């Protein structure tokens, strides 16, 4: 029996550079955190939804925009980013984002570290909530 793959379907529907970028991001996330959970959230009339990667909470979302693919990390402001990957939403107190325009390159090793750091932060937050 095959399982539906809403993220794969969403990415396949993007037939331009944005789909290619998100497929590369998906592969990097899966390599960094093989047990990652994927879904498409916030779908509604006129919007097919946004790919979301989760582990003990949302790690990041992948939104295709006209000029960039935006990877938003809900806890990004608290994550170590020694490679300086975050380049958007820098003035927010909690979230951070990485905007990837068409010709952008992304340091895969540093991105994997960021994904693992986001997973660890989510686990700590979840444990703190449970201990209350």
In a domain, 1, yes or no: no
pLDDT above 80: residue 1: no
Burial class (CB in 10 A: 0-12, 13-18, 19+), 88: middle
In a domain, 114, yes or no: yes
Q: How many distinct structural domains can be found in the chain? A: 1
**Can you tell me which residue has the tokens 């990877």?**
71
| 24-33 mean pLDDT | 97
pLDDT above 80: residue 2: no
In a domain, 112, yes or no: yes
DSSP string, the chain: -PPP-HHHHHHHH--SHHHHHHHHHHHHHHHH-TT-EEEEE--BTTB--EEEEESSSEEEEEEE-SS-EEEEETTGGGS--TT----BSTT-SS-EEEEE-TT----HHHHHHHHHHHHHHHHHHHHHHHH-
| 26-55 mean pLDDT | 93
In a domain, 119, yes or no: yes
pLDDT in tens, 86-127: 999 898 889 999 999 999 999 999 999 999 999 999 999 988
In a domain, 46, yes or no: yes
pLDDT of residue 128: 87
Q: Please give the residue range of the domain that contains residue 83.
A: 6-131
CATH at residue 60: 3.90.1150.200
């Amino acid at each position: 029996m095959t399982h539906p793959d809403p993220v794969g379907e969403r990415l396949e529907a993007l037939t331009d550079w944005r789909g290619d970028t998100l497929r590369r991001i998906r592969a990097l996330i899966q390599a960094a955190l093989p047990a990652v959970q994927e879904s498409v959230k916030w779908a509604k009339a006129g919007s097919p939804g946004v790919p979301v990667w989760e582990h003990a909470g949302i790690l990041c979302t992948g939104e295709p925009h006209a000029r960039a693919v935006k990877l938003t990390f809900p806890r990004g402001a608290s994550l170590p980013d020694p490679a300086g990957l975050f380049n958007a939403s820098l003035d927010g107190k909690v979230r951070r984002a990485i905007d990837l325009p068409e010709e952008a390159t992304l340091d895969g090793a540093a991105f994997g570290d960021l994904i693992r750091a986001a997973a660890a932060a989510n686990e700590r937050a979840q444990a703190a909530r449970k201990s209350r």
